[in-house]
Structure 1
Amino acid sequence: MTGRASPGPPNSRVLLIDLDNCPKELADLPNRLADFTRIVACYGVNEPRLGLSLVRALAPAIAAGRLEFVGMEQRGKNAADFGLAFWAGRLLEQLPAHTEFVILSRDNGLEHIVNLLRREPRAARRAGSAVEAVTGVDQDDAVAEEFYTERLRTQLHRPKRRRTLLKSIRTFFQNRQGLDADRILAALIRRGWVACDTEGIVTYPELAQWTAAEACPPPAPPAPDQPGPASAARQPAKRSSLPLFD
């Protein structure tokens, strides 16, 4: 594609939402309207159900053409992905060259769209939550780091099984709404702080390295060389009496 973009506002931002992959983010959409100039939400499996209060909150943006819901005529598992790819290309041609594209989806396959947009070149990234879409910070990663720093690193006895670790996460964040223990655990695994095998056994690779380092301190530096016994005084060499030749 060739860039045929015209000048526009410096804060031009596009949000493309995969509703099949992030249906729960729909409730937070009214809080994100002011952060984006265009929002397109695609769905291909189930048509989203909007409550009356949500419809009222979104109606002005829909009427202004800033928000659009796009359903695929032929439903399928990846139908919304194709809709997002189409709209990314369409808006690429219509909007200013400095427009930032944010794709809201937990589907890693949509990184292909991000890479193509960057080749145009356009600023583009994928976000796994509405908070990350606006701030660039993944909320799951942020709370996972908090749990790892304040709980796992300070505990002498850590959960050894997946179900026990999930229970510990829920207890730690019991006073916070909207946090998913499974997603926090996935972030811990993604960051390399936790490993979990097929039988649900949990290990902590980084903490294990620290423990091993503390148990095996580095060897002490070698002692300075001790002076050896004084060597005997060098005796002068005896003069040899060799016959002289004429």
Structure 2
Amino acid sequence: MEKETWCFIDFENLPSALEYAIGNNYARILVFLGSQQKINIDLTKLTKVEVIQIEGVGKNNLDFHLIYYLGKCQINAGNHVDFAVFSKDTGWDRLIKFIQKEGRTCQRITRTTGSLKKAVPKAKLVPKANLVPNANLPIDVQAILEKLNNMNKAQRPKRVDRLTNHLQSIIRSLETTKTANQIVDIFKQQGLISVDGDSKVTYTI
């Protein structure tokens, strides 16, 4: 099945994430609201958006509900589904790493700035002079490609699952909304890698 991403929005912590997610290609959007919060966007025609209004007030009340839904989706979602958690709270990172160890691509997104339809956050600490020159690639993908290009060719991941895991480790150090699987797809589309029927990766970089 074609890859898709489900996002989980902590509306108390990052309310701008909802508009951002609607403007981007997320297959399913679960937005969690505090008991007194309201959404000023017409969602009647947006069937991919699910609003979960939390009852009562308490410390971490919304977080606990979001965790519950993450667990349900982890069990029910197919392997073609990636997760994205929108929150500035670093407390999510350990849970996200656990989900990643379970084999699911999952990341926390903290920024929702830029064009809604083509939001490409800048990569951290990657000088422009060191980027792999490829005008067809967004700046964040160029940064990831540069790190891969700097590896010893003999040590590069030789199978697509290992490449995906390696890209996940790179993504953690960069500001990007893209998942490892999306990066692999971009690399294939740009002819930077090819994957045969046995999932073996061949590099052209």
Q: Specify the TM-score bucket, using the shorter chain as the normaliser.
A: 0.5 to 0.7
Match of 2:63 among 37, 56, 81: 81
Matched, 1:59 2:44: yes
Are the counterparts in 1 of residues 7 and 86 from structure 2 also a CA contact under 8 Å? yes
Alignment: residue pair count: 129
* Structure 2 counterpart SS, 1:49: coil
Structure 1 counterpart of 2:28, which letter?
Answer: R
Q: Does 1:127 align with 2:109?
A: yes
1: CA distance between counterparts of 2:100 and 2:123? 29
Choose from 72, 80, 89 the match for 1:90. 72
Distance 1:27 1:136 in 2: 12
Is 1:18 the counterpart of 2:3? The answer is no
Contact 2:35 2:55 in 1 (8 A): no
Give aligned-pair identity as a percent.
Answer: 21
Tell me how far apart the structure 1 counterparts of residues 19 and 51 of structure 2 sit (CA, whole Å): 14
Q: 1:120 to 1:60 in 2, by over 3 A?
A: same
Q: Distance in 2 between matches of 1:77 and 1:44?
A: 11
Of residues 23, 33, 42, the one that matches 2:32 is: 42
User: Pairwise mapping of residues 129-208 of structure 1 onto structure 2 (< 5 A)?
Assistant: 129-130=111-112, 139=121, 142=122
For structure 1, which runs of at least 5 residues remain unmatched after alignment?
Answer: 1-8, 150-190, 192-246
Task: Give, as a single letter, the amino acid of the residue that structure 2 aligns with 1:15.
Answer: C
Deviation of 1:117 after TM superposition, in Å, equals 1.2
User: Which range moved further: 21-30 or 120-129?
Assistant: 21-30
How much has 1:105 moved relative to structure 2?
A: 0.4
Distance in structure 1 (CA, Å) of the matches to 2:109 and 2:8: 10
| 2:89 corresponding residue in structure 1 | 107
* Gap regions ≥5 residues in structure 2: 129-173, 175-205
Looking at structure 2, the residues matched to 144 and 83 of structure 1 have their Cα atoms a distance apart, in angstroms, of 32
Aligned partner of 1:186 in structure 2 is none
SS of 1:106 mapped into structure 2: coil
The separation in 2 between residues aligned to 1:136 and 1:120, in whole angstroms, is 28
Q: Which has the larger radius of gyration?
A: 1
Q: Distance in 1 between matches of 2:98 and 2:119?
A: 20
- Partner secondary structure for residue 37 of structure 2: coil
The RMSD of aligned alpha carbons is 3.4
Any idea what the Cα deviations from partners look like across 1:101-159, whole Å, max 9, x if unmatched? Answer: 0000000001132122112210011010235999896x4xx39879x99xxxxxxxxxx
In structure 2, how many angstroms separate the alpha carbons of the residues matched to 1:135 and 1:118?
A: 26
**Structure with the higher fraction of residues in helix conformation:** 1
Q: Find the aligned partners of 1:84 and 1:136 in 2 and give their Cα distance.
A: 25
Distance in 2 of aligned mates of 1:83 and 1:99 = 20
Q: What TM-score comes out, normalization by structure 2 length?
A: 0.53
Aligned amino acid, residue 108 of structure 2:
R
- What residue is the counterpart of 2:150 in the other structure? none
Q: Distance in 2 between matches of 1:31 and 1:91?
A: 22
3-state DSSP class of the match of 2:45? Answer: helix
Are the counterparts in 1 of residues 11 and 33 from structure 2 also a CA contact under 8 Å? yes
